[in-house]
Amino acid sequence: MKFAMIGLGKMGLNLVKNAADNKHEVVAFDLNADFVKAATDYSDLVTPATDIDDMLAKLPSPKVVWVMVPAGVPTNSTIDTLIEKMDKGDIIIDGGNSNYKDNLEQNLRTTAAGIKFFDAGTSGGMEGARSHGNFMIGGDDAQAWKTIEPLFASISEEDGYLYTGKLGSGHYLKMVHNGIEYGQMQAIAEGFEVLEASQFDYDYEAVAKLWNHGSVIRGWLMELMEDAFSKDPHLDNLAGRMHASGEGQWTIEEGLDLQVPTPVIALSLMMRYRSMQDDTFTGKVVAALRNEFGGHAVDKN
């Protein structure tokens, strides 16, 4: 099928290549012309667009547009523009890491306009996007889903896509997926930190490899650790700063709103935030208290 991709960054470009490999025609648009060129250079099946109007003009009806720009304001304003410019029966796919609450609000407007709206969470990283993605897609119109299902079927890992039901359920599932991911990563990391502090002397690459061959905790994240340790056996080149994007936080906030405890996901995120701090006011307060009541020595700045 023929569709448009807006946003040709790390994920978008890989998806375009993946689609072209699978014989889909793609109209490619990005505010950065170099990115557009990189996409069109890849395959004759990829056509450039100079702006959104141009992009839409190059699509047959019903037009299918996949939005793959950064989550938040960029995605939301892109969708606003598309709602204005697209017609009844057309299809918008939000493929970013959007907050499902934004999608629910947008869905009121797409529904009013007769536009079919899908929220597609994407997992599997850049490598997955390139050749075997993992997609969880929500949307109220199960009929319109049939139109785009062949696209997802062709670019995903086998059994690697799922129509999850109502609009919002795709990004919601991706949000929870990322919450689980945060917890799993922190669990793995705490384990290796205990090993590193221990009296024993382990070969971490060998350990990760071992754990990937028959252990209970085998999985892709552990495979990635094997790879990482093969390149830097003690990760000496890295600073332990754990950046975070929004989904982990949303999962915790969702848990709070539902009054469901998520202690492990919460602590995973909080330890990330802690890793971004060089010193903490919390620490100063506790140090001050210990000094006040016990005369305990404090470390001076």
What does the angle CA 40 – CA 69 – CA 5 come to, to the nearest 5 degrees?
Answer: 35
Nearer to a copy of itself (CB atom), residue 83 or residue 242: 242
Alpha helices in 164-203 (DSSP H): 169-197
Closest separation in Å from C-beta 146 to a copy of itself: 17
Whether 116 and 92 have beta carbons less than 8 Å apart is answered as yes
Task: Give the C-alpha separation, 99 to 72, whole Å.
Answer: 8
Nearer to a copy of itself (CB atom), residue 45 or residue 221: 221
Closest separation in Å from C-beta 34 to a copy of itself: 18
Phi-psi region of 214 (alpha: psi -120 to 50; beta: other; left: phi over 0): left
Closest separation in Å from C-beta 86 to a copy of itself: 26
Q: Measuring CA to CA, how many Å separate 16 from each of 44, 80, 132? A: 12, 23, 12
Closest separation in Å from C-beta 58 to a copy of itself: 30
- List residues with catalytic annotation: 174, 181
Task: Give the C-alpha separation, 33 to 283, whole Å.
Answer: 48
Nearer to a copy of itself (CB atom), residue 63 or residue 272: 272
Nearer to a copy of itself (CB atom), residue 55 or residue 208: 208
